[in-house]
Structure 1
Amino acid sequence: MERTPRAILFLLLLLLVDPGVAQNTTTGKADEFHVGVILDLGSLVGKVSRTSISLAVEDFYAVHQNYSTKLVLHFRDSMASDVKAASAAIELLDNYKLQAIIGPQKSSEAVFISKIGNITKVPTVSFTATSPSLTSDTMPYFVRATLNDSAQVNSIASLVKAYGWREVVLVYENTDYGRGILPYLISALQESDVHVPYQSVIPPSATSEIMMQELYKLMTMQTRVFIVHMSSTMTSLLFKKAKEAGMMDKGFAWITTNGVANIIDSLNPSVTEVMNGVLGVRYHVPKSKELDSFSIRWNRMYQQDNPDESPFNKLSIVGLRAYDTIWALAQAAEKVGISSAPNKQPWSIKNSTCSESMVISPNGPKLLAAIVQNKFRGISGDFDLTDKQLKVSVFQIINVVGRGWREIGFWSVKSGLSRQLNQNGLKTAGSASMLDLNPVIWPGESTEIPRGWEIPISGKKLRVGVHTSNCPEFIKTFRDPVTNVTSASGLSVDIFEEAIKRLPFALTYEYLAFDTADTATTGSYNDFIYQVYLQKYDIAVGDITVRYNRSLYVDFTVPYTESGVGMIVPVKENMIKNMWIFLKPLSTGMWFGSIIFFIYTGVVAWLLEYLNGNQHVHGPFSLKQVGITMFFSIFEES
C-alpha cells in the first residue's frame, strides 16, 4: 500500500526534472505523412522551391509541436523531363505509399502526374504549373496553388489601352507554356480594341542567329509594342539580342508577363541592365514583418543549400507559394490523419507491371477536401484554394530600371489600374488611363511615352533599281548632287509606291539609278534587268517589256498596261471623199445578183396573189402594179 504513492511521486519528479522526456515521447508518436516533392532541382525555380519547402516544414512543426501527424518529404529531380517526372511519381507511390504529391514544376509534367493521381486518388498540388489547360474538370485530384496564366491577360490589356497603343506584337516561345496564354490574351486585347498584326514564334532551341533574324524581321514592321511570354532563359537571350539590334532604344515598348516579372530580382544584373525600360506584370505580395523575417532566414538557408550559386538569387513569389503550400498541406494532414483502412488495389496485380501495382489511397478524397477548404493568411497573402486554384487578387505593374525595378501601379478586377494601394483597396482616379500610373522610364532612358508605331528607319532596305525611260511619263530619275539621294517619278513609280502602301507591314526602300548622267554604268534594258539577277538590285521598276530571254533571269509582275497589240490598215484619201463608198462592201456581181433576186421575189409574190384572186393586182399594168410588186418583194413571207 505504501509503494503506490512512492511510484507516483517518482514519476512526478521525473517529469519535473526532465520535461523534455514527455515532449519527445509525444513527438515520437507522430504518424508519418509521406509526401513526394518532384522538382527540377537544377533550375532556379527548383532550388528556390526546395529551400522554401524545407524551411516551411521546420517552421510549421516548431509552432505545432503537439500535432499527431508530420510530413515526411521525399524529393526527386525531374531534370526538366516529363517522363522522368512521371517515373519518379510512380516510384514514390510504389515505395512510400504517398498521401500527396507536391510540385510538378512544368504544366506538361503536371498533366502526367495528375493522371496518375486520378487513378490512385492521391492529390497533386502544384505552385508553378500555370497552363490554363489544366482544369479540375479533367483532373479532379489536381490543385493549383497559384494563378493560371490567363488571370493576367486583362491587366496586360488594360495597360496597353492605358497608354493608347492600338497594335501590339506577341513574342512567345513555341512550347505548351508559350502557346497556352495566346487565346486568352488575344481575346482580351481585342475587347480593348487592340489589334495583333503579327505573332513572333521563337523555337525553344533558338540560337543567337535565329533570334537576331526574327528581331530584324520585327524591326521592318511599324508596330513598336511587344508583349513577351517566354521562360527566363529565353527572355534573357531575347533582350540581349534586342539590345544588339537597337530595339531597346527610344520609341520601343516591351511588356513581360509574370513568368519573368515574378523572378526579376533573381536575374543576372547583366540581363536586367539590357531590360531597362521594360514593363512587367507580376503577382502582388503584401509587405509584412513576417515576410521580412522569413526573407532573412530564407537567404541564409539558401546559401547553405547552394554554396556555389549566384548571390543574386533572391526569394520570389514562387518560394512564398511553396512555403504556404506546405503549411496548407500540413494542416490538412492533421485534420484528416492517417487512415487505418488498408489500401485498395485499383486492379488485379497478377502479372502486373510497376504502374499496375500502385494502390488507391483511402485518404485521398478526404485530404483533397481538407486542402481546398483550408483558408488562411500566408506569407504570400490570402491563401484560398476553394476553386482548386488561387483567386485573382491584385497584380503589380513594375518598370525595370538599372539593376532593379520600380513600382508603377497596380491592377485589380474591381478597380482596374491604379497608382496606389492602401488598406481599403485600390485608389482610382477614374477610368483606366496612363495618368493613373507613376511615370515610366522607357527604353533608351526616355520619359516620353512611345507612340507604339513608326516608320522603320533601321534594318536592311529594299534596293530598287530605276531606269530613265524615253517616255518620262512612265519613269524619270534624278540624283541630288548634295545628298547623293536618287529620286524617281512617273507612272511606274506611282504604281510601285502604291503597292508598298498596301502591304500589311512597313517596308523601307531606296532608289538606285542605273542610267543617270553621273553614273558610270549605262546600258540597255537587258543590262538593267540583269542587275537584279546579279543581286545588285532587289527589284527593278520601270517600263520594262516582258520578254522570253529576260524571264530566264528574273520574275515579272502582271503587266499593268495594255499589251500594245494592234492592226495597221493603209488609208486611201480618194475613197474617203467618194460619196459612193457605201457600195464598196459588196462587189459588182454581188450587187447585180441581189437586184435580180429582189425582182424575182416580187414577181413570184405578185403572181401568187393574182392567181388567188386578189383584186388589187388585177387590171392593166401601171405604176401601181409596179409598186405592189416591190411591196411584195420586201414584206411578203413565203
Structure 2
Amino acid sequence: MSEGYAWIITDKAMDLLHSMDSSVLIESIQGALGFKSYIPPLSKLHNFTIRWRRKMRMENPNMEMMELNVFGIWAYDAIWALARAVEKVADKISQTKEQSAALNMTDLANIGASQSGSIILNELLQIKFRGLSGEFQFMYGKLISRAFEIVNVLGKRERRVGFWTLTDGITKEMNPYVNEKYLRSSSTNTGLETIIWLGGSTTTPKGWLMRMNGKKLRIGVPVNQGFKELIKVQRDPQTNATTAIGFCIDVFIAAIDGLLSTESYEFIPFEDSNGEPAGNYNNLIYQVYLQNYDVVMGDTTITANRSLYVDFTMPYTDLGVGTIARVDNKNMWIFLKPLDSNLWLTSAVFFLLTGFVVWVIEHPVNEEFQGSAAQQMEMIFWFSFSTLVFTHREKLLNNLSRFTVIVWVFIVLLLAASYTATLSSMLTV
C-alpha cells in the first residue's frame, strides 16, 4: 500500500465500507479505487431516508445513527417486489392445496416443495417497477445493476471520480434524467476525474512488472508424475530445453495476456542434476521465500504453514470437499421410497410374468413344473420371487426358458443395485 501501486476494490466490499471499523480500515486504503452500486438521487428515496432516520431516532435514541446503505435500499425494494408478486398471483395461490402439517426442517428427506412457492417465484422473476433504488428488475435470477460509481478513497470519505454504465462504459458525469428503461450517461464527458493514487501521487502507476529492469521473471515449476493435466514439464532430447504445459500454465499465460505485459519470463523446473525432483512441495514453495524464484506455479495446496512464507493467489479450481452426515429419519416406510409406486407395480407384474413365461415353456417337458393346479400356481409364484435372491433350485431343460431367466436375473441385479444406492443416498446428506 505505497506509491507506485494501484488497488481496486470491488462493489461487494465498497458498499459495506462505512459499516466496518473506519479507524483501521479507511486509513489503510487511502488512494485506492473502488466501485459502488449507483443509486440515483430520486425524491422518493430522499423522503424515505428522512422518515427512516426519524423512526430510528425515536425507537433507538441512544444508538449511533447509521447511514442507510445500498443493501437496506435493495431490501426495501425486494419486500415491495414480493408483495406485488403475491398480489398478482393471489387467486392462483388460493386454488392450490397446501400441506396442513408443519414441515420438520431437520427431516431433509421429507421436505416437500410448496405449490404456491413456484407460482410466486415465477411472478417475482418477471416483476419490474420503479423503487427507491431506481428500476428494480431481475435478469437470469439476479438483480440488474445498471450503473456503478467509481470512487477514490481520500481521508474519511469517498471522492467520486466517475461512473460506469451498461450503455456508455466509463464517463465523468451521469445524466440527471434517469430513463425508465436504462440509465443514460452524458456522452460528452468521457474518462475520469483526477485520481489521487496511493502515497498521494497523481501519477498513474506503471505496474510492478515494468520495474523488473529487464530481468526475466523466474517461475519455479514442480517436476512430478502426478496430475499432468494441471502441470507437466517436458524436455527436448536434442536441445535439452525444458517447457511447461498444463492448465496452470494456461491460466498464467492468459493472465499475462490480460495485463498486456511484454515482460519476459522463464519456467525453471525444480529438479536436481539427475532430472529428479529436488524436494517436495514445501521445499519448492520455500524457494520463493529464499528469493531463488519470483513465483512458483503448479498444483500447490494452500496451507496455514506455507502462508507464513509466501502469498497465494485465490484458488481457481474447485476443491471438491464435502461432508457426509447421517439423516435422522424416523419414517418406518422409508425402505419403500427408493422406488416410486409405478416402478414397484411394474416390478411385481414382471415377477409374475417371468414365472408364467418360464412355466409355459417348461410345463410340457419338465416334471418339476407339473402337478395339480394349486402346485403349479405355487411353482409360478415361488420361481418368480426366488430369482430376487437368486435361490431358484428348479432345473430348466429348455434353452429358451434359460435365456429368459438369464435376462430377468440381470434386470433384477440392476434393480437391486439401484435400490441399494438410492436408499443409501436418502439416509445421508
| Band the TM-score falls in, shorter-chain normalisation | 0.3 to 0.5
- Between Structure 1 and Structure 2, whose CA radius of gyration is higher? 1
Question: TM-score, normalised to structure 2's length?
Answer: 0.43
Question: TM-score, normalised to structure 1's length?
Answer: 0.30
